[in-house]
Structure 1
Amino acid sequence: MIVIYSAKKIITMNPARPFASHLAVKDGKILGTGNLDELEKWGDYKLDNSLKDKIIMPGFVEGHSHTMEGTLWRYVYCGYFDRTDPDGKTWSGAKTVDEVIDRLKQADKKLATSDEALSGWQLDPIYMDNKRLSRADLDQVSKTRPIGILHASGHIMNVNTKALELGGLMKTGINHQGIPLDKDGYPTGELYGPDAMTPVGVHVGFNRSLTDSDEAGLIAFGKLCVRTGVTTVTDLAARLTDDGVDAMIKITNKKNYPACVVALKVFLGATARETVEFVQELKKKSTERLRLGRIKAVADGSIQGFSARMRWPGYHNGAPNGLWYTAPDQLSDLYKLSLEAGIQVHTHTNGDEATEMALDMLEGALKEHSSPDHRFTLQHCQLADAAQFRRMKKLDMCVNLFANHHFYWGDEHYRLTVGPDRASRMNACRTALKTGVPMAIHSDAPVTPLGPLFTAWCAVTRQTASGRIQGEEETVTIEDAMYAITLGAAYTLHMDNEVGSLETGKRADLAILEEDPFLVNPDELKNVKVWGTMQQGRIFDAKLL
């Protein structure tokens, strides 16, 4: 059955036919865009005027997120900023360490037993005078139950004494760069990176993996997609165990699941060859709403957590250099084998030293395995300078810049982590475009909230949380930002032939808006209301979730 939808305005992101008044859909795909006279020539149809007052765009493509956010909302929200959950409720932020402790104490009273784990998420000490939470702080909440709080970056966790005991870490003599020690030689309770976090994480509620979501979490994350206009979303660094993949297939195959999930296997705990061979087999399980067959590598940690790898002169406040999560030789092996097998790799690099390392490793790998249109993508890539962007262009790489980060941590980077010069050029969108590097922008949810229109606003204005414009020279136009959250992101996933624009043969994926984002004042872009989405021809009204 052909359904023709009318709209106030249809913005196709297709330069051959940029605007239309009607859209024809059949079997979940787009037959065409145009006016009613043109489209009714396809044959018998049903005219649907339910969206006649709406602005229609291609469904937004979130190129860097984690479905774990759906699961995390079952834990105690400890973030600094107010935030909206999958059901539309807004939770207030915790502005001080004392507020975080009080929030945990309230949650502690509601638990049934004295040894049940208490889990929190989104802690961000950098906003609290960079006061580091210790196990003694969390022991104020409970000494009998294990307590763990995941930082906003996802790269650091704070735990109490009981959690350290259960993880076998409450002892002296530990020599690990991710486990700081107090003056008595015991762990402080702050753990950096997966090696340090994993032994304790299983005891504080993060027992499946810090990056995995369960069935209920996937359903909740789908609601967030509808509320923000997202129809294609990544799960960028999942373990993708057999049970986990079966659960993802089950949930995404449901008739009412509203998004296509693109899940990347994290390169962790296995050799490069084992990972590539695993992903080659995994790709065969892909479905219409679950895409498998890509790899995510993580080179370093986070800038605000001081675990990113920095070139000279290092951190502005004198903090020691960050951590290598993947050694150069390991990344080189992964790149070579992936290029040979035709598997795409996305690599997390926050610090500029990590970006340089990834560029060096890919340059060497391409000399052995030339691969046209590989679209290997640097994710975050926050401190890349102009010379590094030129290298990306030469290597035919893509980049997905963390535009949201500039709002949430820009002031602190200016003041504390990297200083004014580097902070002003972080997430250099204009440089990427000027250099000709294919670019997307992202939220990294749950690190920051899912919301492509907010992400676009961040790239257009470069406004920080304090209201400052930081690095005006790197702002981009609304047109460039909207491209980055549609076709730009789709390109980095090798999916621009399926989504990202409204054209004949592509998936009928729509972001349904109340206003035209191209016509609003740039300062108001983040406030454009999302009515809902259409995904594969199925309409989802955010008010009815």
Structure 2
Amino acid sequence: MPSPLPRPADPLHAADTILYGGTVRTLDRAGHTGTALAARDGKVLAVGPDADILTLAGPATTLRDLRGSCAVPGFIETHNHPTFFGLTLAAEVDAGSPPNDRIADIVARVGQAAGHTERGEWIRGYRYDDTLLADDRHPTRTDLDPVAPHHPVCLQHISGHFCVLNSAALDRLGIDRDTPDPVGGAIVRDAKGEPTGVLAETAAFAAYAGMPHPGVDDLADAIGRAGDAYLAAGVTTVHDTGLGLMGGPGELDAYRRARLTGRLRNRIQAYLVQDLFPELAEGRLSPVESAVAGLGDDEFRVAGVKMWADGSIQGLTGCVSDGYACAPDKHGLLIFPPDDLSRRIATLHEAGWQVAVHGNGDGAIQAILDAYQKLGLDPESADRRHRIEHCQMAGERQLADMARAGVHASFFVKHVYYWGDRHRDRFLGPERAARIDPLASARRHGVTFGLHSDTPVVPVPPLEGMWCAVERMTRDGHQLGPEQRVDAETALRAYTSEAAKLAFEEDRKGTLEPGKLADVTVLSEDPTAGGERSLRDLSVEATVIGGDVVWERTPGGTR
């Protein structure tokens, strides 16, 4: 049995935690690497060789042997929906594929839920994807009505940009043949003009707002469930890009409750959904909304406002300049007319808010850039770091404009794996599909970007996102646009040091330098070392926040 390690440091100045016996990738500008890290008072104290760092151990220091594993800065997820994610983990109906192959499979799950749900109560299902179902269409109310005639039912599309309601839900929300389509949305109708139950974009968003919101306790529990999953994936900070989407203003109370009860497991940068308050929805700000920008601390901070400019490519609602390959006459839609989008962004900008706008199609990306450019952004003098979310079809000129204006991007790089084949064969065609999520071009132009999973749209693990960025393999095993691949270190930085810049946090996190927060992800191997193992085959061994091990893999499971 090895003798215990010496603990020579003065207890008043000793480290609280030391990780040693592995590789520590600091990701600082010089690329320093050590074998050990010391943390005190929640911050990095030092990184260096074991022999030097262990001299900082005192009687109360927690020592953790890395056993050859690799410590990197804690992963930062720059676009996620924690409350929504947590609700899906406890949903009445899992409508995703897998496990469902056909609409009939989803309908059967709805029927099962109706059998143990009180008459008149809502039944919610999540994650259906029409393009993965053998029926190759959205479910409709005629599918759902027979199994749940006395329950309002809502099935939410995997993108969140569509939903399906049964007749009881349509009645409950007051939607009928005479209800007009909202601006930026659509109520899908049959040949007779009757609603089919499918709602798109702002029509779907209005339906979500009209449904009963979960209570504060339920929302806090959802935040906790999501947090557990984030920690298991090595995620220490999450950008909640759409706070209020599932629970309205009650989500702010839910975060307070989760924090008080210990269920807030990771750090949060919150971007308020565009219509959380009436003033935001109208592009006006009262003194209250103007004053809360940036409020908070390292555990929870109000970072900005999230807006939507278009929908999703796979839903044919992403705004594209050229028509869809499968429907050349369709160009998607803009949620707001360009002048209205510009006005709303300008209002938020003038009030001091950071703005993050969802844009998938190149038409929407251009509308966002036009709005940003009207602000006269000068990255040398006014670093506001407005963002484009997903940024899926950004062209070369658009990327150059983003770099010049200091506009940052959060790329949904997992589009390549989860939808790349369908983008190539169905929605965009080979040439445009090869350019989705153009990371290499963005890097060449000097655009600062992070990567994300948009969970619950696809699974969380950043290691999978890094793999997508490096390999660009589709679900069917084809390489899509290999010229847009980046190296492993670039991908890692897009989840760490570069990701921190998207919320003005590079002085506090993103690298393992003395004085920064001791947020660490411990991986089974160095993700930048190369070798035969795929990045997505590496494992998270432990997650550290503020120097405390908050999750670790154990021989009998995890804790």
Structure 2 length-normalised TM: 0.89
**1:322-342 superposed Cα distances (whole Å, 9 cap, x missing partner):** 232233223322333333333
- In structure 2, stretches of 5+ residues that fail to align are 1-13
* 1:72 correspondence with 2:79: no
Instruction: Name which of 142, 152, 159 aligns with 1:153.
Output: 159
Equivalences for 1:231-380 in 2 at 5 Å?
231-239=236-244, 243-252=250-259, 254-255=261-262, 257-268=264-275, 269-271=278-280, 274-275=284-285, 277-283=287-293, 285-318=295-328, 320-366=330-376, 372-380=382-390
* 1:137 correspondence with 2:137: no
1:10 aligns with 24
* 1:436 correspondence with 2:446: yes
State the 1:55 CA deviation: 1.8
Instruction: Name which of 537, 540, 555 aligns with 1:530.
Output: 540
CA contact (8 A) 1:155 1:192 kept: yes
Equivalences for 1:59-98 in 2 at 5 Å?
59-67=74-82, 68-75=84-91, 76-81=93-98, 93-98=99-104
1:227 aligns with 232
**Counterparts of 2:452 and 2:144, CA distance in 1:** 33
- Percent identity between the two aligned chains: 28
**Aligned pair in 2 of structure 1 residues 225, 275: CA closer, same or farther (>3 Å)?**
farther
1:85 aligns with none
**1:27-65 superposed Cα distances (whole Å, 9 cap, x missing partner):** 111011002443356584636034344321110000000
**SS of alignment partner, residue 324 of structure 1:** coil
CA contact (8 A) 1:117 1:146 kept: yes
**1:418-462 superposed Cα distances (whole Å, 9 cap, x missing partner):** 111111100001110011111111101111111111011111111
* 1:411 correspondence with 2:411: no
**Counterparts of 1:311 and 1:276, CA distance in 2:** 36
**Counterparts of 1:213 and 1:195, CA distance in 2:** 25
**Counterparts of 2:267 and 2:495, CA distance in 1:** 15
1:84 aligns with none
**Aligned pair in 2 of structure 1 residues 256, 361: CA closer, same or farther (>3 Å)?**
closer
State the 1:538 CA deviation: 1.6
CA contact (8 A) 2:294 2:304 kept: no
Match for 2:513: what amino acid?
A: E
Match for 1:80: what amino acid?
A: S
**Counterparts of 1:276 and 1:34, CA distance in 2:** 50
**Aligned pair in 2 of structure 1 residues 355, 107: CA closer, same or farther (>3 Å)?**
same
CA contact (8 A) 2:290 2:352 kept: no
State the 1:249 CA deviation: 2.6
Residues 32-41 or 344-353, more deviating: 32-41
**1:113-139 superposed Cα distances (whole Å, 9 cap, x missing partner):** 232221100010012253121110111
**Counterparts of 1:30 and 1:361, CA distance in 2:** 40
CA contact (8 A) 1:178 1:192 kept: yes
2:36 aligns with 22
* 1:105 correspondence with 2:111: yes
2:187 aligns with 179
**Aligned pair in 2 of structure 1 residues 326, 255: CA closer, same or farther (>3 Å)?**
same
State the 1:537 CA deviation: 1.4
**Counterparts of 1:255 and 1:103, CA distance in 2:** 33
**SS of alignment partner, residue 392 of structure 1:** helix
Match for 1:18: what amino acid?
A: H
**1:340-393 superposed Cα distances (whole Å, 9 cap, x missing partner):** 333211111011100001111111111699952221111111011111111111
State the 1:471 CA deviation: 0.7
CA contact (8 A) 1:279 1:294 kept: no
Instruction: Name which of 446, 450, 454 aligns with 2:460.
Output: 450
**Aligned pair in 2 of structure 1 residues 232, 368: CA closer, same or farther (>3 Å)?**
closer
Match for 1:265: what amino acid?
A: L
State the 1:206 CA deviation: 5.5
CA contact (8 A) 1:202 1:208 kept: no
1:86 aligns with none
**Counterparts of 2:504 and 2:218, CA distance in 1:** 24
**SS of alignment partner, residue 394 of structure 1:** helix
Match for 1:473: what amino acid?
A: E
**Counterparts of 2:172 and 2:32, CA distance in 1:** 59
**Counterparts of 1:498 and 1:310, CA distance in 2:** 38
**SS of alignment partner, residue 346 of structure 1:** strand
Residues 116-125 or 72-81, more deviating: 72-81
* 1:386 correspondence with 2:393: no
**Aligned pair in 2 of structure 1 residues 196, 481: CA closer, same or farther (>3 Å)?**
closer
**1:256-315 superposed Cα distances (whole Å, 9 cap, x missing partner):** 743101110122253465348544422464132101131111111111111111112345
State the 1:497 CA deviation: 1.1
**Aligned pair in 2 of structure 1 residues 117, 313: CA closer, same or farther (>3 Å)?**
closer
CA contact (8 A) 2:423 2:429 kept: yes
Match for 1:119: what amino acid?
A: R
Match for 1:282: what amino acid?
A: V
CA contact (8 A) 1:430 1:474 kept: yes
**Aligned pair in 2 of structure 1 residues 377, 22: CA closer, same or farther (>3 Å)?**
same
**How many residues in Structure 1 have an aligned counterpart in Structure 2?**
530
Superposition RMSD in Å? 2.6
**SS of alignment partner, residue 458 of structure 1:** helix
**SS of alignment partner, residue 495 of structure 2:** helix
**Counterparts of 2:260 and 2:414, CA distance in 1:** 31
**SS of alignment partner, residue 292 of structure 2:** helix
**Aligned pair in 2 of structure 1 residues 337, 370: CA closer, same or farther (>3 Å)?**
farther
**SS of alignment partner, residue 368 of structure 2:** helix
**SS of alignment partner, residue 25 of structure 1:** strand
Structure 1 length-normalised TM: 0.91
Residues 236-245 or 138-147, more deviating: 236-245
**Aligned pair in 2 of structure 1 residues 278, 241: CA closer, same or farther (>3 Å)?**
farther
**Counterparts of 2:348 and 2:218, CA distance in 1:** 26
Match for 2:236: what amino acid?
A: T
1:124 aligns with 129
